[in-house]
Structure 1
């Protein structure tokens, strides 16, 4: 009996175009680790590589009817990973330039009394959002950002793994970015 594991990539793609979920699963199982390894080698960040591969496979499913293979499925997928890595790197460069220009602007700026008041208000908002984090996440975040401890030092102090510390800090930053993004926008909109 022939299973999906035994059929060629070309046949899997044909089945995928027809909406066959089992063919999609077989493609995912054949290539997810190879693509993840390829993305990780380029990015040096396992979480980013994992996100990139997940987004690629989500896109593969949603755009399955539009897939045109010029050569092989593996070449198609590797090219898609390469393009996403390049887009990600380009985005990081733009983000870095923006942060650098913002830092240069703020270092050359002399704050007046009004701006000092706004800065205190903003710090109070940030402190409120930090206080709203789950207790363990808040503790790890504060040790990292306020006490300036390394992940290793935090892990030793709290008796948890460095990976847990890294994940807690990353999750705290995600939560704060979402919560403070809108707050900062409204704050700037109202004050200027």
Structure 2
């Protein structure tokens, strides 16, 4: 059994190997080495400390949950900063997508209503859409979000998920069909934007 002091002497590559072997102490050492740096890196991009901390925590959760799947070809530091940059970009993309839903709702449904009523309805619509997306089966939701929220092509999604392109197409079709059924035919065009 290794002592915690031993982990400080390990290289990132050694810690990653231990991480893949489900070593919690190796993960703790990685957190100690990179958390503050990643929070600073993220804060400079989002200018909101609690948000920066949340985004960094999301990356750590992803790292732990998918630790055996990742390939750290260019070194762990490059990998973790790329993952962090991608998480920040995803955060901004999601904000833009949600804003497009709200903007569309404002333009189509609420021109004649008061602004406070508009805000409530827009927020309700966004919450309803996000709720229905979250209720999709995991694979369908993952394909839908990669397609609609990160603007990846079917081919890119297939490569990212390591599945055939037809599987991506089928999951996307089923996701849209499910959302159409749950949200009604009027809302389908929102997802086509």
TM-score by length of 1: 0.55
1:53–1:81 CA contact under 8 A, matched in 2: yes
Distance 1:11 1:101, change over 3 A: same
The answer to whether the aligner puts 1:37 opposite 2:68 as a matched pair is no
Give CA-to-partner distance per residue, 1:24-79, whole Å, 9 cap, x none.
Answer: 00001100011111111111121221111111111111111112111111110000
Name 1:104's counterpart in structure 2.
107
CA RMSD of aligned residues (A): 3.1
Select 1:66's aligned residue among 65, 69, 94. Answer: 69
**Gap regions ≥5 residues in structure 1:** 112-118, 124-172, 183-187
Query: Residue 17 of structure 1 contacts residue 67 of structure 1 at CA under 8 Å; is this kept in 2?
Result: no
Partner-residue secondary structure (3-state), 1:68: coil
Q: Which runs of 4+ in 1 moved over 6 A?
A: none
Deviations along 1:149-181, whole A, 9 cap, x unmatched? Answer: xxxxxxxxxxxxxxxxxxxxxxxx9xxx79xx8
Q: Distance in 1 between matches of 2:113 and 2:32?
A: 57
SS at match of 2:68: helix
| Counterpart for residue 52 of structure 1 | 55
Distance 1:50 1:30 in 2: 15
**CA deviations over 1:69-90 (Å, ceiling 9, x no partner):** 1111111000001111111111
Q: Unaligned stretches of 5+ in structure 2? A: 133-182, 185-193
Return the alpha-carbon distance in structure 2 between the equivalents of residues 35 and 7 of structure 1: 20
* 1:15 corresponds to which of 12, 18, 22: 18
Give the superposition deviation at 1:94: 1.0
Once residues 56 and 113 of structure 2 are traced to their aligned partners in structure 1, the CA distance between those partners, rounded to angstroms, is: 45
What are the superposed Cα offsets for residues 99-157 of structure 1, whole Å, 9 maximum, x if unpaired?
1222223443479xxxxxxx8xxx9xxxxxxxxxxxxxxxxxxxxxxxxxxxxxxxxxx
- State the partner residue of 2:159: none
Structure 2: distance between partners of 1:107 and 1:58: 39
- The number of residues matched between the two structures is 121
